[in-house]
Structure 1
Amino acid sequence: MKASYTTVDTDYLDRRRLRPHARALHLCAMGVGAVISGDFFGWNYGLAAGGFGGLLISLMVMTAMYTGLCFSIAEMSPALPHAGGAYSFARTAMGPWAGYLTGLAENMEYILTPAVIVIGIGGYLSAVFGTSHAWEPLWWLLCYTVFVGLNVWGVEMSFHVSIVVTLVALAVLAVFWTGAMPHLDIARWARPYFPAGVGKARSALVQLPFALWLYLGIEQLPLAAEESHDPQRDMPRGILYGLLTLIVVSFLTVVLSVGIAPGAARIATSSEPLFFGFQTIFGPGLRTRVFALLACSGLVASFHTIIFAYGRQIYSLSRAGYFPTWLSVTHGVRQTPHRALLVGSALGYAVALTIRLTPQGSRVGAVLLNMAVLGAVLA
């Protein structure tokens, strides 16, 4: 199929400008922040399907795959510093239809992922404050309102908030790792390493989407290329520093979470797996609740940074004419894609409500997580 093109005037582009701000540190924090929720919530669901052994094998495979991916995008993003990210790479290499399909896959990833994350935030906040599960949609709405507002406020605010919440999340994980090490007993708490009657290869295969959750999101960094001061220098550094951080964080979190009480079987179905770890370390007191509340920073970091991502992705596809062009008009003062952010957030909240309205025990949440992973793989 042939694509048709429209010539636009300078006013069209003037109304769709972004403001550069990011350096390597901002990009590294955004890359780590986009992913770090996976260390707090999501990866543990795979334990029920493939056990600790299968998860560890799949994590090694996924680490190798993401290392290759990050080296690739670290080379492509300085060469093609566009806000479209993978969409712009595909369009340049394979034409407009390949770019469009890649952009749709990225939209599926970036809109569904925050919807899954905000459910985890609601679970943590309900556990900390002792509120009824009926309150969770209000927690979700509050989260979307606050963090869409921060992203609309300005790119400087987006990156500064990303640095702060990512550092807080890393500090919480560091406290968990340090406290968990004296309690570590893998032989006792991580068994069975593989489910009965399931081979190692099959266990690892079914775990791959959950292991991917520990890296999913760092590939969004090329979306910030137009808002980077020096993409040729800063993009490769930000991507690779972020990858190294995530490799260390993912292995420490998985091994230490599974290797302490209450063990792999208990955390496999939990929406707040670190909460149990802090109970083992500190007991069921105030300190556990404080750290569980701070653990929300990991989910918040990813939620905030992926909101940034779908705003830029929708904006980029709209600016190119794939989506309605009114979506790509940026704020007259702050030069942020506020319309794209609002529309993407409305879709994400609708997805979260859809999960909420499914019957108890439904696997819709897990299916949406896998759909987000599928979008990442296709993109």
Structure 2
Amino acid sequence: MENGNSKGLKRTLGKFHLWGIAVGLVISGEYFGWSYGWAQAGTLGFLITTFLIATMYTAFIFSFTELSTSIPHAGGPFAYAYRAFGPLGGYVAGFATLVEFVFAPPAIAMAIGAYLNVQFPDLNPKMVAVVAYLVFMALNLIGVSVAATFELFVTILAIFELVVFMGVVSPGFSMENFAANGWAGSNEFSATAVSGIFAAIPFAIWFFLAIEGASMAAEEAKDPKRTIPVAFIAGILTLVVLAVGVMFFAGGAGDWRELSNINDPLPQAMKMIVGNSSGWLHMLVWLGLFGLIASFHGIIMGYSRQIFALARAGFLPKSLAAVNSRYQTPHWAIIAGGVVGIAAIFSDNLIVIGGQPLTANIVTMAVFGAIVMYIVSMLALFKLRRTEPNLERPFRAPLYPIAPAVALGLAVLALVAMVYYNFLIAVIFAVLFVIGFVYFKATHKSDELAEGNEMLRANAL
């Protein structure tokens, strides 16, 4: 690994680092984004949506862990689909994962700006978002061990802060507040409520989006066949408990409708209980940033490994697979994803979609990528069970084939609902997919794909 084009990543991460990455990638979803689902479904309707999506994620993670331990590769879902379906399957999963991980960070960066704007009203949230990109891209550039240790630290602080939030608002919690107008703005269950339950799917997914990104650290993990299952299973259980707790306590603090279309629902919920000048509120704003930073920083780590893996296998320009000779990090991949994310932050001045807030649209685009990737990953699991029964599987999906079938079925249902309720964003997603595929077909070389295929098989053994 002596030059800037070295293709190896250094193994330095243990199970606690991986747990920190798995939870940290997602934990910003407990701080913001999910409350847009209240605007669609109401608190009671969104509770049903969240239950369905939590079921999907739990079944998915227990199934996905089989793939990530059998094929411990930086490409994650791209590697599994490539192994199962060849270059076309690899492209579909790789593109979908890339959309998920490139579009999630700008939404989180804007939430960081919104949180700081609560404390400093004169700050421009977009400029804060850009500064956040520059700082955490730099942190990812200097080494995965430093980056993962920082991720673990801020994740623990973020969990602590969510527990503090629930404790502070609990004296003012009222189930009447939570249930009032709880069916899509009405007190009665109706066809509108059913429609809202399905329309809110992207924002329930935001509670758990990107947990699978821990698999992209597999080439940098010590003994990934043992550490990844611990990280994934402990991670999904942690996130389900936090998601349900935060949603209940925020919704019961007052009129939840005041929280349903904003980027900082937790500080605003706490204001309903302790007022504007409480020290608890200021602490939440400052410590709450750690939750956003944990996900933002972790997803930058994730998108860089996805770009790196795709480029190494010939799906993106080879230069993006370069590894820095000093820090052994994929520097051009980190920078390329950051450029796209910063452009997305300023896209609301150019494109307006459906009258939705920019953050809601970016969240929805990221979720489209995630859902397509989940579907392809579960199909890859079924395919590899059939075609490669002798593949070493250190962790086997429990309740097979029921668990992966549940995950696959709910993911397909979610995709259909998302296309129906977000058709224009679905079209944009499809156009990007076609452009990427045309580029891939026009520029790839068969020897690069052969090299990529052999690389995947070598990493699986």
2:168 paired residue among 166, 179, 190: 179
Which one is further off, 307-316 or 169-178? 169-178
Contact 1:190–1:264 (8 Å) recurs in 2: no
How big is the shift at 1:202? 2.4
Find the aligned partners of 2:131 and 2:308 in 1 and give their Cα distance.
Answer: 24
Where 1:336 maps in the other structure, the secondary structure is coil
1:267 paired residue among 246, 259, 269: 259
Cα deviation 1:183-234 (Å, max 9, x = unaligned):
1112134411103454443232111111110010101111010000101100
Find the aligned partners of 2:182 and 2:223 in 1 and give their Cα distance.
Answer: 47
Aligned to 2:103: 112
For the pair 1:376 / 2:370, whether they are aligned, the reply is yes
For the pair 1:258 / 2:251, whether they are aligned, the reply is yes
Contact 1:176–1:277 (8 Å) recurs in 2: no
Which one is further off, 280-289 or 236-245? 280-289
Find the aligned partners of 1:184 and 1:276 in 2 and give their Cα distance.
Answer: 14
Where 2:35 maps in the other structure, the secondary structure is helix
For the pair 1:144 / 2:138, whether they are aligned, the reply is no
> Could you tell me the TM-score, scaled by structure 2's length?
0.77
How big is the shift at 1:136? 2.2
Contact 1:111–1:347 (8 Å) recurs in 2: yes
How big is the shift at 1:257? 0.6
Aligned to 1:7: none
Where 1:25 maps in the other structure, the secondary structure is helix
Aligned to 1:131: 122
Matching of residues 135-284 of structure 1 within 5 Å:
135-195=124-184, 196=186, 197-261=190-254, 263-284=255-276
1:31 paired residue among 8, 19, 22: 22
For the pair 1:325 / 2:321, whether they are aligned, the reply is no
Instruction: Decide whether aligned partners of structure 1 residues 240 and 189 sit closer, same or farther in structure 2, where only a CA change above 3 A counts.
Output: closer
Instruction: Decide whether aligned partners of structure 1 residues 352 and 359 sit closer, same or farther in structure 2, where only a CA change above 3 A counts.
Output: same
Find the aligned partners of 2:144 and 2:350 in 1 and give their Cα distance.
Answer: 35
How big is the shift at 1:276? 1.4
Find the aligned partners of 2:330 and 2:5 in 1 and give their Cα distance.
Answer: 13
Find the aligned partners of 2:353 and 2:118 in 1 and give their Cα distance.
Answer: 18
Instruction: Decide whether aligned partners of structure 1 residues 361 and 79 sit closer, same or farther in structure 2, where only a CA change above 3 A counts.
Output: closer
Aligned to 2:343: 350
Find the aligned partners of 1:368 and 1:116 in 2 and give their Cα distance.
Answer: 6
Contact 1:40–1:298 (8 Å) recurs in 2: yes
How big is the shift at 1:358? 5.2
How big is the shift at 1:356? 5.2
Contact 1:87–1:99 (8 Å) recurs in 2: yes
* Identity between Structure 1 and Structure 2 (%): 33
Matched to 1:141, the amino acid is V
For the pair 1:91 / 2:82, whether they are aligned, the reply is yes
Cα deviation 1:26-46 (Å, max 9, x = unaligned):
111111111111111100011
How many residues of Structure 1 are paired with residues of Structure 2 in the alignment?
Answer: 367
Where 1:105 maps in the other structure, the secondary structure is helix
Instruction: Decide whether aligned partners of structure 1 residues 80 and 12 sit closer, same or farther in structure 2, where only a CA change above 3 A counts.
Output: farther
Find the aligned partners of 1:355 and 1:375 in 2 and give their Cα distance.
Answer: 20
Matched to 1:71, the amino acid is F
Matched to 1:279, the amino acid is K
Contact 2:91–2:315 (8 Å) recurs in 1: yes
Contact 2:29–2:208 (8 Å) recurs in 1: yes
Find the aligned partners of 1:216 and 1:319 in 2 and give their Cα distance.
Answer: 25
Cα deviation 1:91-122 (Å, max 9, x = unaligned):
10111111011101111110100011111111
How big is the shift at 1:355? 2.7
Which one is further off, 56-65 or 272-281? 272-281
Aligned to 1:66: 57
Cα deviation 1:221-280 (Å, max 9, x = unaligned):
11010000101100111100001100100000111110112x211101122101112223
- Unmatched runs of 5 consecutive residues or more in structure 2: 374-461
Where 1:68 maps in the other structure, the secondary structure is helix
Contact 1:278–1:292 (8 Å) recurs in 2: no
Cα deviation 1:163-188 (Å, max 9, x = unaligned):
11111111111111111221111213
Aligned to 2:37: 46
Contact 1:53–1:200 (8 Å) recurs in 2: no
Where 1:36 maps in the other structure, the secondary structure is helix
How big is the shift at 1:286? 4.9
Cα deviation 1:128-167 (Å, max 9, x = unaligned):
11224xx223211210111011111101111111011111
How big is the shift at 1:360? 11
